[in-house]
Amino acid sequence: MVRRGASANTSIATRIILSKRIDLAGIYDKLYEFYGPQSWWPARTRFEVIVGAILTQNTSWENVKKALANLKKAKALSPGRIKKINERHLASLIRPSGYYNLKAKRLKNFTTFLDSKYDLSLNRAASCKTARLRQELLGVSGIGPETADSILLYAFNRPVFVIDAYTKRIFSRHKVLDKNADYEEMQDFFMANLPKNVKLYNEYHALIVRLCKELCKKNPQCGLCPLKAKKWLVPTDSFYSKLRLLKGICRDPEKHL
């Protein structure tokens, strides 16, 4: 049975939620019905996800793809190779992703961490509990909460909701969240009000990104947006009963996930 789960975070939730009960499931349904599955993360290996999560900081995915292609061509897309490769050479390979010197250092920092804690083995790292692994990732210089959580969710399949500027934009524009809420407060809100489900968190974050890239831009195109109806901002009795009825989040989990 899916638990409501908001009680532990009530004080945080009441501070940042401007609308009392939000139909997060309904928002998800609308987005999914509009866009369909996003098939994230676009990578073939766990390490490729991690490298992509670091390289995508402050740049578009198109640029990351070019940097990843360079790494693949140079056969440098493995923890062992990143550890050994000269940092300047690494920077030149990832140049298309921008901030390449900084990002080369960050990739080195990650592999140094992986080497010292897990003998360069991501499988060993995968045996670590989520909270500990998150703490360890946050201890790597250059890995902040969004990157750490992207790695946990998309590389290690952990039920951790990723917050980014897009999430903040949509939910603060609709006055669901206070735009001054910090990362943890926003994350607590989503995780307290949604079932802890890897597939759901994976798809939900990807759909938010898609919506912001295409419609909820600096000048939002609300007329074309699946969330334009404000129904999802008012309390709905169906929300929690829906969660209780379903093992996942949607009316038809098999169809949606």
- CB nearer ligand SF4, residue 97 or residue 193: 193
Instruction: Give the residue among 149, 160, 145 at the shortest CA–CA distance from 200.
Output: 160
Query: What is the nearest approach in angstroms of ligand SF4 to the Cβ of residue 217?
Result: 8
Going by C-alpha positions, the residue among 160, 157, 165 that lies closest to residue 122 is 157
Contact residues for ligand SF4 (CB under 6 A)?
Answer: 170, 173-174, 215-216, 220-222, 225, 227-228
Q: Which of 24/133 has CB closer to ligand SF4?
A: 24
Residue closer to ligand SF4, measured from CB, 48 or 203: 203
In whole angstroms, the minimum distance from the beta carbon of 209 to ligand SF4 comes to 12
Q: What are phi and psi of 50, to 5 degrees?
A: -65, -45
Residue 40: is the preceding peptide bond cis (ω within 30°)? no
Question: In this complex, which beta carbon is closest to ligand SF4, that of residue 218 or of residue 255?
Answer: 218
The nearest distance, CB 26 to ligand SF4, in angstroms, is: 13
Is the dihedral angle over the CA atoms 62, 68, 74, 75 positive or is it negative? Answer: negative
State the nearest-atom distance from the C-beta of 230 to ligand SF4, in Å. 8
Q: Given the complex with ligand SF4, which of 214 and 252 has the nearer CB atom?
A: 214
Structure tokens at 182: 């910090």
Helix axes 46-55, 61-73, angle to 10 degrees: 130
DSSP assigned state of 223: G
Residue closer to ligand SF4 by CB (options 121, 221) is: 221
Q: Could you tell me the smallest distance in angstroms from the CB atom of residue 149 to ligand SF4?
A: 22
Who contacts 75 (Cβ-Cβ below 8 Å, separation ≥6)?
81
Which position has the token pair 């991690």?
50
Residue given tokens 């609300």 in the structure block: 222
Q: How far is the CB of 228 from ligand SF4 (least distance, A)?
A: 4
